[in-house]
Amino acid sequence: MATALILASGSLIRAQLLRGAGLDFSIETAPVDEAEIRIALQAEGASAGDTAIVLAEAKALRVSRKRPGALVIGCDQMLDCNGVWFEKPGDRDHARAHLQALRGRDHTLSSGIVVARDGQRIWHHLSTARLSVRPLSEAFIEAYLDAAGEAVLNSVGAYQLEGLGAQLFSRIEGDYFTILGLPLLPLLDFLRLQGVLKR
């Protein structure tokens, strides 16, 4: 009997990446108080990367405890710009403020992924990318927000590299999948070792 694979995330892009890679999985979102965890870890001096892993683990474990034997994938992403952590914007005004704060500056995106089985973390991976946002005019920001619409609210930093967000950057260092929020290649390697995918 095949091992059940569950994505503990409501992210459309993560689901698209997994489907595109040929994986058969179900989706079950995990109710986790992400803001409370972030605040507590930042107060303790944790890095953005460590926080991404903790959040990913919290999601994976929450679902794993209810789904015996399944491999549950939890993911999270943190954006750090000179020590300031950004979250997904709540509305257009917040998205505009994010883009204004990031323009002309470098920042890092840390994408953490955790796989759990039977309520235990059995694998994790952290990948970080560095991105440089070009100087953006106010007119460009408004036109970008008009064109991108509510899609920008689904992405930390208010951008989506796979679409119009590519116009925001002057340089990117790191893995494309990491920037999209799912370090896919290490996950596929792990799933091959687990027999979920052919070697």
pLDDT at 3 (0 to 100): 82
pLDDT at 155 (0 to 100): 87
Mode of pairing for the β-strands spanning 5-7 and 26-27: parallel
Q: Which residues are catalytic?
A: 76
Mind listing the pLDDT tens digit of every residue in the chain (199 residues)?
578 999 999 889 999 999 999 999 999 998 899 999 999 999 999 999 999 999 999 999 999 999 999 999 999 999 999 999 998 999 999 999 999 999 999 999 999 999 999 999 999 999 999 999 999 999 999 999 999 999 889 888 898 888 899 999 999 999 999 999 999 999 999 999 999 998 8
Mode of pairing for the β-strands spanning 71-81 and 26-27: unpaired
List Cβ<8 Å contacts ≥24 apart for 190-197.
190/115, 190/123, 190/125, 191/5, 191/23, 191/71, 194/3, 194/71, 195/3, 196/2, 196/3, 196/5, 196/23, 196/71, 197/22, 197/23
SS (H, E, C) 10-65: CCHHHHHHHHHCCCCCEECCCCCCHHHHHHHHHHCCCCHHHHHHHHHHHHHHHHHC
pLDDT at 193 (0 to 100): 94
pLDDT at 1 (0 to 100): 56
Architecture of domain 5-193: Alpha-Beta Complex (3.90)
